[in-house]
Amino acid sequence: MTLIKSTNQAALDKIDEIRKLGLTAHISLPQIAVIGDQSRGKSSLLEYLSKITFPKDIEMCTTFATQVVMRTASKFHANVSLSPERDGCTKLKVPKKPNEVSDVISHAKTLLMQGTTGATVVKDILTIELSGPEYPMLTLVDLPGYVHTRSTGQAVTIVQDIENIAETYIANDKTIVLAVIPANKDFETNVVMQKVEKHDPMGKRTICVITKPDLMDSGTEHKIVEVMSGRKMELELGYHLIRNRSYDDCQADISVELACQKEKTFFDKKPWNDIPSNNQGVESLRSKLQDILYDLVDEEFPKIKLEIRNKLAKCNEELDVLGPTLDTEHARRALLVANTNKFVDTVRPLIEGHYSLLEYPYEHYIRAKIQGLNETFSATILKTVSEDEISKLDIEGTISKSRGRELPGFLQHEPFVALVRETIAEWNKITKAHFGMR
């Protein structure tokens, strides 16, 4: 069991390293993504699972993905980071105790939202790493909560932006969808379950966590029992019920441990005690999610390694095509000369008309094209010296205007030069056009 646990932790750590490198756009990774409407119990669920208190700035929590990485260790350790890194990340304090994590998260969020206007969705990921003896081996990606209308100060496109960032995760067939819905809202019309039906129509990779059962109207509890039975929607990973901290609990700032005790007391009462214990309470949920992630990683990790090897091999092939590294001026000059000579050797037969030396289509026969262009050029020039054009020349007038000191009966060469110039005046434009000159 210890060996299996160690192997699973090593695989999870490798996957998290790949995610930190920002390679999720190229490699699909196994993960558990938490989706739900805003203010419907997602933050409380994360607090339960991670045993830390998150900042209460709800507006900021809806604008980017938060990755919570939990690992088992002999003593507490925490780290908060941004991916990709931003200016100031190195100044983030390393929390020494669980109650210091919240302030560091707030600082990281401030860095994350720098340069944005209003509540704007960003693609960066806030990563919270927690390790200690009480933590499971579990990684969750908490996605921005769905909103249905834009509030003052929020980006005009925030509703669609949140849907887009959530879809990049839940549309991935390697993602386990943890759908959070409140017990006191209608199940059938909940937007979260509509997204589940769209991206996981067979219900094979979704677990539904129902929150806030204590807020249900008296006498309506049977509706949740019916939902959890799977009669409304069958989910292979099933349903789970948790009780969030109440408003009074939040005001009193009770600890996660005390909240879990109150939750247990709540579920000991009717009708909740009719629900199997492995489908209720945050402690059993923590174990359940860990097992689900283990199974997913065991199935997908060999495929990920193969995919990375294949992509690496392809990159190496593309690098080999580019040739050796040019780290000196001499190497760069030598490559330029070699490529120039190679180009000349390739083009020379096409220019000289030795087409049988190469296997190129007719449109690349340069000498043949030049011959055709020259013939067209010659025909165009000849048109300017045709008998009709010559007859239009004022020869007598040119001789009369060009008289000089010549003897009677003799002509100077100036009239001839003037007539030639007049005749070939158009040749300049024709010749430039022939050689592609302007």
Query: What digits encode the pLDDT tens for the residues 393-404?
Result: 788 888 888 888
Chain Cα centroid distance, residue 31: 16
**DSSP secondary structure, 384-408, as one string:** TTSHHHHHTS-HHHHHHHT--SPPT
Kindly give, in sequence order, each residue whose CB lies less than 8 Å from that of residue 212, ignoring residues fewer than 6 positions away. 40, 41, 182, 183, 184, 243, 244
Map residue 239 onto helix, strand or coil.
Answer: strand
Rounded mean pLDDT, 53-82: 76
- Is the model's pLDDT at 153 over the cut of 70? no
CA atoms within 13 A on the CB side of 139: 26
Stronger pLDDT, 270 or 87, i.e. the higher one: 270
The pLDDT confidence band at residue 58, using thresholds 50, 70 and 90, is very low
Chain Cα centroid distance, residue 146: 20
pLDDT at 240: 95
- Is the model's pLDDT at 177 over the cut of 90? yes
The pLDDT confidence band at residue 186, using thresholds 50, 70 and 90, is confident
User: How far separated are the first and last CA of the chain, in Å rounded?
Assistant: 81
CA 236 to CA 252: how far, in whole Å?
Answer: 38
Stronger pLDDT, 84 or 279, i.e. the higher one: 279
- Is the model's pLDDT at 60 over the cut of 50? no
Could you report the per-residue pLDDT of 408-431, keeping only the tens digit for each?
A: 777 778 888 888 887 787 788 888
Rounded mean pLDDT, 349-368: 86
CA 143 to CA 172: how far, in whole Å?
Answer: 14
- Is the model's pLDDT at 146 over the cut of 90? no
Chain Cα centroid distance, residue 114: 21
Residue in the structure block whose two tokens are 């009717």: 270
Residue 185 in tokens:
């809202």
CA torsion, points 389, 390, 391, 397, in degrees to nearest 10? 120
Question: pTM score, two decimals?
Answer: 0.69
- Is the model's pLDDT at 187 over the cut of 80? yes
Could you report the per-residue pLDDT of 78-107, keeping only the tens digit for each?
A: 888 887 665 555 567 788 888 788 888 888
- Is the model's pLDDT at 6 over the cut of 90? no
pLDDT at 19: 77
pLDDT at 280: 92
Stronger pLDDT, 32 or 1, i.e. the higher one: 32
Which of the residue ranges 57-66, 86-95, 117-126, 356-365 has the most confident prediction, judged by mean pLDDT?
356-365
Rounded mean pLDDT, 189-207: 90
CA torsion, points 40, 46, 47, 53, in degrees to nearest 10? -90
pLDDT at 356: 84
pLDDT at 1: 44
pLDDT at 209: 93
- The domains of the chain, with CATH numbers, are 2-308 (3.40.50.300), 343-434 (no CATH)
Kindly give, in sequence order, each residue whose CB lies less than 8 Å from that of residue 200, ignoring residues fewer than 6 positions away. 170, 177, 206
- pLDDT averaged over every residue in the chain: 83
Rounded mean pLDDT, 47-60: 69
CA atoms within 13 A on the CB side of 192: 27
Rounded mean pLDDT, 126-155: 82
Stronger pLDDT, 417 or 310, i.e. the higher one: 310
Residue 395 in tokens:
């020869």
Chain Cα centroid distance, residue 140: 19
254 touches 245 (CB < 8 A): yes
Backbone angles phi, psi at 245, to 5 degrees: -65, 135
- Is the model's pLDDT at 72 over the cut of 80? yes
Residue in the structure block whose two tokens are 């080999």: 320
CA 128 to CA 130: how far, in whole Å?
Answer: 6
pLDDT at 61: 47
CA 247 to CA 255: how far, in whole Å?
Answer: 14
Rounded mean pLDDT, 189-206: 90
The pLDDT confidence band at residue 317, using thresholds 50, 70 and 90, is very high
Task: Give the torsion sign (CA, 270, 238, 143, 291).
Answer: positive
100 touches 50 (CB < 8 A): no
Other C-beta atoms lying within 10 Å of the C-beta of residue 9: 16
